[in-house]
Amino acid sequence: MNIPVVDLSLFVKGTPAQKVQFSADLGKAFEEVGFVSVKNHGIDQLLIDSLYTNVQSFFGLPENNKSNYEVPGLAGQRGYTSFGKEHAKGSDAPDLKEFFQFGQTVAAGETSVENYPDNVQVSDVASFNEKFLEAYRAFEKSGGALLSAIAIHLGLGENYFEAHIHLGNSILRAIHYPPILNEPQSAIRAEQHEDINLITLLVGASSDGLEILSKENEWLAVKAGPGEIVVNVGDMLQRLTNDRLKSTTHRVVNPPKEKWHTSRYSIPFFLHPKSNMSLACLDSCISELQPKQYEDYTAGKYLDERLREIGLKN
């Protein structure tokens, strides 16, 4: 499927008219499809390449080494989560993946640290933590620009999300889908799901497999063009906009049999706000034709509920 393509440089460096047009194009895509491909996104390709090199080195470590970075009690929000721990909401079948998560870093005295567990420091891969922090900041910047454009589209003012996402609980996740060694029970590596957060930025998955569910209830393969990243709406933004912006169902399917011996790597950035952000439906998105669909929640309460539903939290 050819998802809409937008050029973020037109918003970041463009004229006022180009900024307005970009906001309209992005908003329309998020209302109709829920996914876009973004070019000129501002995340340096050399950084992306280095990040992937570090990720592949980490997942190539012996199991005993990787298990040293799995921290009980953190619900998978920092460090390593071993194979088969997470499942989609409503599914008992575990996804066929292992992953590593890197979260927000706050300076001493900058804010209360209770919602910001320390990141797990990886010593087995030399530049791992350095590259993850560098990439995290790059994703934050690009994601913030996209949310500014969405805020304009929604009539909220360009800076609406700024205070909510400053020191937000965003997560940079590196995923490894290992080679398939035996006839799989399912054709799915990651079951159909919607993302929890505001928006997700997905950079350079190492092979095909991502599919989205169309309005016609058909599964369609999606892949970004060279140098582009895929960005989609998460449930928090859908909830905030009372279903005006679409959190589209997606999944990752197994490769053809001749590629079973290969790994798949994927690095999404889940852009979250602070835990205290209200997700109460915007008044401007409620009408007689579209009555309020959700009860009032904070982002923190919603995240906690969803982590329990997908098996990462008891």
pLDDT tens track for 198-254: 999 998 765 578 999 988 899 999 878 889 999 999 999 999 999 999 999 999 888
Tell me the pLDDT tens digit for each residue of 254-299. Answer: 888 888 888 889 999 999 999 999 999 999 999 999 999 999 999 9
Residue with tokens 């003012």, as numbered in its chain? 157
Contact 78, 103 (CB under 8 A): yes
Q: Enumerate domains of the chain plus CATH numbers.
A: 5-309 (2.60.120.330)
Q: What is the three-class DSSP state of 252?
A: strand
d(CA 192, CA 144): 27
Q: 248 and 136 in contact (C-beta within 8 Å)?
A: no
Q: What is the pTM of this model?
A: 0.93
User: Which of 165, 163, 158 lies closest to 143 in space, CA to CA?
Assistant: 165
